[in-house]
Structure 1
Amino acid sequence: MATTIIEPFRIKSVEPLRFTTKDQRAGILAEAFYNPFMIRADDVLIDLLTDSGTSAMSSRQWAAMMEGDESYAGSKSFYRFEAAVKKITGMKNIIPTHQGRASEKILFTITGGPGKYFLSNTLFDTTRANIEFSGAEGIDLLTEEARHPAAIAPFKGNIDLVALEETIREKGAARIAMCIITITNNSGGGQPVSMENIRAAGRICKQYGILFFIDACRFAENCYFIKQREEGYAAKTVGEIAGELFSYADGCTMSAKKDAFANIGGFLALNDDDLTRECRNLLVITEGFPTYGGLAGRDLEAIAVGLEEIMDEHYLQYRIRSMEYIGEKLEVEGIPFIKPVGGHAVYLDAKAFLPQVPSHQYPGLSLSNALYMEGGIRSVEIGSLMFGKYAEDGSLVPAPMELVRLAIPRRVYTQSHIDYVAEIIIDVFKKRDELNGYTIVYEAPLLRHFTAKLKPVQVEAREG
């Protein structure tokens, strides 16, 4: 009997890749101020910067886009979209937005503000930025096992329940704007959160009268992990698992650019009518009328179909297995990465990969740039460039981990592309002692990693 898990799709349209030489890439990287975000996409061979909005849409999605109703108000495309979201989440009120961070901006503007706190398993960059922009503070409550990249545990994305309750008591429930569980835990290595953990966190929040929300960008991948790893869920469908998961929450935000296979879009789903009214009022000012929310009718149609397609367990099996495939290749070579591999990406442990580069010289960026130099692969640093803060004396307060995320776009690359990626990582690992760090020459006050300009640290300066 065949054991190979094949792609549950066939290719109908192709797009050429552009090859560059190493010398060309050296010039490109310098022109981009050594920031992968500043590299033109045409100069990238394999683009693993993000899995957000980079998926290949299906023939059904493209066909649905032709059905898009572009009416300003009351579009029938909205009602198809609304029905698809309600079917999965069971939430009462659905608000479309142009992407996930727009949902966050609306929600946090209303619920946040100075003196407020948002508690989470781990907040991702744009989520934290929108919280801080409101004047509030985000607090990550990692479990102990999540702090150790090489530790093996089935649900390393969980929130620390003891720390959650202690923080609520310490800060005062009235000052906690909400608790947000990110599924899967993106900053924490794409690790899943267990149903038991979500249920318990929801119970604690209800006890203290605190809003409990799900950041649902990769909900289907998380639900599949629950089906595979958590007792009592093996016989349940992903849809049934999702229904239970969302039932514990007061609402959710989602970027449809992830698990809905869409190139743009997102939504807010809520049960509270008063909070919904406030969100819709702000939506009209910032995004558009409540039945389009910054999206074209064709995009609403694509999302509705994508939300149906993501529930296909053959696809989810293939998706998770693809990540494991890369991890197995790296494990053979002794390359450090977060274990077990996540649902949408492989996260290299840059601190262990490049022990000679200190946090204030950004080892994750050094590794990310080396992957581009060696093989034209674009990845993203998730470490002290993305999440580092400054102490009062101006010194860097480093991030808990120094990581490089290789996020795999959905339905885009083949096994040979992934084999190539693994080979380049292995080649860089063999030359790791030659790599040095970087220093910042320009940074923005928020989300600095998107537009920061950097320069290489001279070897003499690092050794001195």
Structure 2
Amino acid sequence: MKKKYAAEPYRIKVIEHIRQTTKEERIKILKNAGYNPFSLRSEDVYIDLLTDSGTSAMSQEQWSALMIGDEAYAGSRSFYRLESVVKNITNYQYFIPAHQGRGAEQVFLPQLVTKKGMYYISNIHFDTTRSHVELAGARAIDCVIDDCFDLQTYHPFKGNFCLNKLEKTILDKGKENIAGIIMTITNNSAGGQPVSMENMRQVSEMAKKYGITTIIDGARYAENAFFIKEREEGYQDMDIIDIAREAFSYADVLLMSAKKDGLVNMGGFIAIKDHEELYNKCRTYIVPMEGFPTYGGMNGRDMDALAVGLMEALDENYLRHRIDQVRYLGDRLREAGVPVQYPIGGHAVFVDCKSIAPHIPYDQFPAQSVTNAIYIEAGVRAVEIGSLLLGRDPDTHENIQSEMELMRLTIPRRVYTYRHLDVVADAVIHVFEHRSELKGLAFVYEPPILRHFTAVFKPIDSL
């Protein structure tokens, strides 16, 4: 029986022309970019699946909202409109805008690191979060369930915390040494996998038991709420916004990159439930780091567009199509035998490159090799989520071996059609069928922090 996928709940009003290059051109272009897709020029990319961060198409209502932006340095009307929306969605008392998620992280995370030897615990820290934890003088520990690493077996909430690991970590490290617990929803590095409401509730109860602050990394909270509605008993008849509100009730703080489920090209924020002292510390610290507390690195027009986008992202018809687009690409790859994280996640399809290229060691970055190969094949840009992204141990400086070597095919919101995804699928399938030709990579230049963004590589046989 033919699978059904939701049609686009919008029609296209403005288009952007994209250039197609030849395979010969792409070979030269990739070499000049140091075999790092981050260093490719956008104009040399046909279908850009590098990230869903800041790459959404905005609605006509958002474009209209831009025109009423108030660019006052202090006390902007746009700030108060955005604050009202965030408080409505979260039921939190305090709100501070930031230029994006990492701006919120760099302001907030150091506030809970009060001494040396502290830790943040997450289901899985994403790259910028892990880096800001380390820059704050703490260490990052991941406590995701083991099912996360079984890529082929179905589990409805592979992003969940392992509660036993979590409690053991708290007891081993000492509750006084845990700066905070970060619930990443959806769990990006786990393959865009959702976290169940029951798991969030249990994590919250454990945090309260030990007196630990609980933080939600909510970049994709609306997608997580949709999965809860689909998969968790008792939520089928609830509105998405009410599911989101319940999730936020299990945390003390929300850090959000609004470039994802805010449907804007730039923006983020810190929301704090009811801790006035913590709010005042962040409000003070944001001034030198981001800007005055009523703009925090954002233009007034961007705050107004975000106020609209946050509500649009909670629309169930939009979310159904959003999840179906990702599922469509994942289904095409699975049907061709390409190993991917299953079930398909919320914002991306994660391809298991450890299985595709077992002949490439982890420290020669098999997922980066596959990522480069699909660019050469079809001009598709993706991103590695594996040992390259994890980086080096901050104490030993040894390469950290990732449990999973994944290539993330990240779908921008409201940008591409199903036919574009067919082009992506055909390219990945071709590379999979010629996987024995893939070669590992070695560093020519390795940055000390967030190395995957700006590193330069060479294929092993050309060194």
Output the CA distance in 1 between the equivalents of 2:137 and 2:166: 21
Instruction: Choose from 259, 262, 275 the match for 1:260.
Output: 262
Counterpart of 2:343?
340
Q: Retained in 2: the 8 A contact 1:108–1:130?
A: yes
Shift of 1:259: 0.3
Query: Which residues in structure 2 correspond to 1:70-149 (within 5 Å)?
Result: 70-112=71-113, 114-149=116-151
Distance change >3 Å, CA 127–CA 393, structure 1 → 2: closer
- What is the CA deviation profile of residues 125-160 of structure 1, one whole-angstrom value per residue up to 9, with x for unaligned ones? 000000001110000012010111112100000011
Q: Using the alignment, how far apart are the partners of 1:182 and 1:99 within structure 2?
A: 16
Partner of 2:426: 423
CA contact (8 A) 2:5 2:321 kept: no
Work out whether residues 131 and 137 of structure 1, in 8 Å CA contact, stay in contact via their aligned partners in 2. yes
The 2-side partners of 1:3 and 1:346 are apart by: 18
Match of 2:281 in 1: 278
One-letter amino acid of the counterpart of residue 401, structure 1: M
CA distances 1:267-325 after superposition (whole Å, capped 9, x unpaired): 00002100000000011111111111111100000100000101110011111111111
C-alpha deviation, 1:326, in angstroms: 1.1
Which stretches in structure 1 are left out of the alignment for 5+ residues? Answer: none
Q: Aligned pair 1:353/2:356, yes or no?
A: yes
Q: Is the 8 A contact 1:109 1:134 kept in 2?
A: yes
Q: Is the 8 A contact 1:385 1:449 kept in 2?
A: yes
The secondary structure found in structure 2 opposite 1:181 is strand
Q: How many angstroms apart in 2 are the aligned matches of 1:4 and 1:401?
A: 29
Contact map agreement 2:5 2:324 (CA 8 A) in 1? no
Q: Distance in 2 between matches of 1:46 and 1:282?
A: 39
Distance in 2 of aligned mates of 1:279 and 1:4:
43
Question: Any residues of structure 2 matched to 1:202-213 within 5 Å, and which?
Answer: 202-213=204-215
Q: 1:395–1:219: structure 2 CA closer, same or farther, 3 Å change rule? A: closer
Q: TM-score normalized by structure 2? A: 0.97
Matched to 2:201, the amino acid is: R
d(CA) in 1 for partners of 2:391, 2:285: 31
Change (3 A) 1:218 1:396: same
Deviation at 1:396, TM superposition (A): 3.0
> How far is the alpha carbon of 1:394 from its aligned partner?
6.5
CA contact (8 A) 1:114 1:134 kept: no
Deviation for aligned residue 1:389: 2.3
SS of the residue 2:62 aligns to: helix
SS at match of 1:317: helix
Counterparts of 1:227 and 1:152 in 2: how far apart (Å)? 17
The residue number in structure 2 matching 1:60 is 61
1:50 is matched with 51
Long gaps (5+) in structure 2: none
- Give percent identity, aligned residues only: 51
Alignment of 1:1-40 (within 5 A): 5-40=6-41
Other structure's SS at 1:389 match: coil
Deviation at 1:444, TM superposition (A): 1.1
> Aligned to 2:188, what secondary structure does the other structure show?
coil
Give 1:218's aligned amino acid.
R
Deviation of 1:43 after TM superposition, in Å, equals: 0.5
The equivalent position to 2:228 in structure 1, one of 226, 229, 237, is 226
In structure 2, C-alpha distance between the alignment counterparts of 1:128 and 1:299, rounded to whole Å: 27
**Deviations for 1:345-399, whole angstroms, at most 9, x for unmatched residues?**
0000000011111111100100000010000000000011110425988653311
**Map of 1:375 onto structure 2:** 378
Q: Is the 8 A contact 1:391 1:397 kept in 2?
A: no
CA distance in 1, matches of 2:330, 2:297: 38
Amino acid at match of 2:310: L
CA distance in 1, matches of 2:49, 2:334: 20
Deviation at 1:331, TM superposition (A): 1.3
Kindly indicate whether the alpha-carbon contact (under 8 Å) linking 2:384 and 2:406 is maintained by their aligned counterparts in 1. yes
8 Å CA contact 1:47, 1:378 repeated in 2: yes
Could you report, residue by residue, the CA deviation over 1:181-233 in whole angstroms, capped at 9, with x for unpaired residues?
Answer: 00000011000000000000000001100000100000000000000000000
Cα distance in 2, alignment partners of residues 455 and 124 from structure 1: 26
| Other structure's SS at 2:233 match | coil
Tell me the secondary structure at the aligned position of residue 396 of structure 1: coil
RMSD value, Cα? 1.4
Aligned 8 A contact 2:5 2:325 in 1: no
Q: CA deviation at 1:436?
A: 0.7
Q: Are the aligned partners of 2:51 and 2:382 in contact in 1 as well (CA < 8 Å)?
A: yes
Give the TM-score, by structure 1 length: 0.97
Letter matched to residue 238 of structure 2 = K
Counterpart-to-counterpart distance in 2, 1:292 and 1:135: 27
In the alignment, the residues of structure 2 paired with residue 90 and residue 282 of structure 1 have an alpha-carbon distance, to the nearest angstrom, of 23
The residue identity in structure 2 corresponding to 1:108 is: L
- Distance in 2, matches of 1:84 and 1:390, equals 40
Q: Could you say which residue in structure 1 is the equivalent of 2:244? A: 242
Conserved 8 A contact 1:81-1:303: yes
